[in-house]
Amino acid sequence: MKIPELLAPAGNLEKLKMALLYGADAVYMGGKAFGLRAFSDNFEEHELKQGIDFAHSLGKKAYITINIFPHNDDLAALPDYIRTVAAMGADAIIVSDLGVFRIARQVAPALPIHISTQANSTNWSTVQFWQELGAARVVLARELSLADIRLIREKVAVELEAFVHGAMCMSYSGRCLISNYLTGRDANRGQCAQPCRWKYHVMEESRPGVYLPVVEDERGTYIFNSKDLCLITYLPELIDSGLDSFKIEGRMKSVHYVATVIKVYREAIDAYVSAGGAFHFKQEWLEELQKVSHREYTTGFYFNKTTEQDQIYTSSSYLQTHDFIGLVKEYDPATGRAVVEQRNNMKVGEQIEIMQPGRENFVQTIRAMFDAEGHAIDVAPHPQQIITMPVDKPVVPYAMLRRPEAKRGFE
pLDDT digits (tens, 9 = 90+) for 213-255: 555 444 445 566 778 899 999 999 999 999 999 999 988 889 9
Identity of the residue numbered 198: W
Strands (E), 92-210: 92-95, 113-115, 137-139, 159-166, 201-203
Q: State the pLDDT confidence band at 410, using cuts at 50, 70 and 90.
A: very low
Quick check: do 5-173+225-310 and 322-404 share a fold?
no
**pLDDT tops 90 at residue 169:** no
Question: Do 265 and 24 contact (CB within 8 A), yes or no?
Answer: no
Please tell me the predicted confidence (pLDDT) of residue 216.
40
Count of C-beta atoms within a 10 Å radius of residue 204: 9
Q: CA torsion 302→305→310→311, rounded to 10°? A: 130
Domain boundaries, the chain: 5-173+225-310, 322-404
Contacts of 81 (CB under 8 A, 6+ apart): 31, 33, 34, 66
pTM for the whole structure: 0.84
Fold (topology level) of 322-404 = Elongation Factor Tu (Ef-tu); domain 3 (2.40.30)
Indicate if the pLDDT at residue 32 is higher than 90.
no
Return the higher-pLDDT residue of 313 and 141.
141
Q: What digits encode the pLDDT tens for the residues 12-31? A: 999 999 999 999 999 999 98
Please give the radius of gyration of the chain, using alpha carbons only, rounded to the nearest integer: 23
Q: HSE on the CB side for 117, CA within 13 Å?
A: 22
Architecture of the structural domain at 5-173+225-310 = Alpha-Beta Barrel (3.20)
